[in-house]
Structure 1
């Protein structure tokens, strides 16, 4: 009970700081400005449907992060142009433990399990810092999320998604570099109007913490977005 209580407090704290949003603009795009105000210089444009990560508001303007060419950029967008993902239909949790979770509501079911990270099952590459300390640099030849220089202890195992009569595949590329998953800090939202499913997770903690959103359009995995929310 103490563990679950701590997880709930952590979740509340993170949700108060930042959350995922989606650009919605009848013009098909919206401007990203360098500061909070219509008079501030336009720095970029975001297309309708792009995922952003929103921080605090300054009046009517949201401070956001977004991805451009594998880099995280920042700026300000008017709050009327962003729909928060957590305002879509929330799929209810039916079963949840520290290692797995089941979400189910009407025609939507999402289940995933986690497993222990076993070093011998992976190719772990170590590097050395300027001070001579060894650290984990890559796993299976990839940069990875969830640990700050050490070995992970847990990883995603199986993912099962069913929308109506469709079985939805989650490709390995979407999850195999993501470690320290938190089933208790995972949520699922569904935009029935356009048949889009979002899975949001706050994984790991401390220096290794990260926020990930998986997006599925009409039963097909389309993208993920990863940010550092704390």
Structure 2
């Protein structure tokens, strides 16, 4: 029981802290990610400009110049792996929190979900213990805490400089309980749409990274 409680507390600690998103600020256009918090440690990855990732400010030693970060293992948070991120460290001077970016103003950019009531007809719904929903159509269920979703996403309509950007269904088929409350930031020609969604218990954070011709990244993570 003690071991189980320790594991649960560890998971909850991480889930509470990853609700912080950033990009890098580096004149080189990329930053080294190191295994340990020092400049001599092994380089395990590189982050490029306008790539979003989580960072952990709460457990970072503020007397040091390095900060813990968590990089999604693929650009769209698709697939299943444990853990779903690569953990490492970058120098604090290279960190640019998402909320520090310029807010998007004007009519050059628009983002809108097309939402409807969840329709279970002809859906393959997997349950644990015959009760708790674990997957719908073979995909994880973002936005609920094991219950049947109430709201599904039927489409996402994005327009940049008068040009429609098509978002493939694979990128929103696992998202539920979405709403239209989000923040939009801009860095150069890149747009970032950040929001929280939930049914009241199954909260998750999502960041859409978009440019005129494509969806660059989708960052999705759950919190408690």
Under a length normalisation based on structure 1, what TM-score does the superposition of the two structures give?
0.73
Distance in 2 separating the partners of 1:74 and 1:134: 34
Q: Mind listing any 5+ residue stretches in structure 1 that lack a counterpart?
A: 1-13, 93-104
User: Structure 1 residues 157 and 17, CA, compared in 2 at 3 Å: closer, same or farther?
Assistant: same
Shift of 1:35: 4.1
Q: What residue is the counterpart of 1:123 in the other structure?
A: 123
- TM-score between the two structures when normalised by the length of structure 2: 0.74
1:197 shift after superposition: 1.3
Structure 1 position 196 matched with structure 2 position 190 = yes
- Please list, as runs of the form range in 1=range in 2, the aligned pairs for 1:24-35 lying within 5 A after superposition: 24-35=25-36
1:17–1:48 Cα change, 3 Å: closer
Q: Which has the higher contact order (CA 8 A, sep 6+)?
A: 2
Count residues with an aligned counterpart: 197
Structure 1: how far apart are the matches of 2:18 and 2:172?
Answer: 25
Which residue of the other structure, out of 183, 200, 205, is the alignment partner of 1:187?
183
Contact 1:53 1:64 in 2 (8 A): yes
Which residue number in structure 1 is paired with residue 85 of structure 2?
Answer: 72
* Structure 2 unaligned regions, length at least 5: 1-14, 75-80
Conserved in 2, the CA contact under 8 Å of 1:154 and 1:179?
yes
The Cα of 1:151 is off from its aligned counterpart by: 1.0
Give me the whole-angstrom Cα distance separating, in 2, the residues matched to 1:167 and 1:190: 18
Please tell me whether the aligned partners of residues 56 and 69 of structure 2 are also in contact (alpha carbons under 8 angstroms): yes
Mapping 1:171-182, distance limit 5 Å: 171-182=168-179
Residues 216 and 16 (structure 1), Cα distance of their counterparts in 2 relative to 1, 3 Å cut = same
User: In structure 2, how many angstroms separate the alpha carbons of the residues matched to 1:164 and 1:112?
Assistant: 18
Distance apart, 1:128 and its partner CA: 3.3
* Other-structure match for 1:87: 100
Looking at secondary structure, tell me which structure has more helix per residue. Answer: 1
| CA displacement at 1:32 relative to structure 2 | 2.3
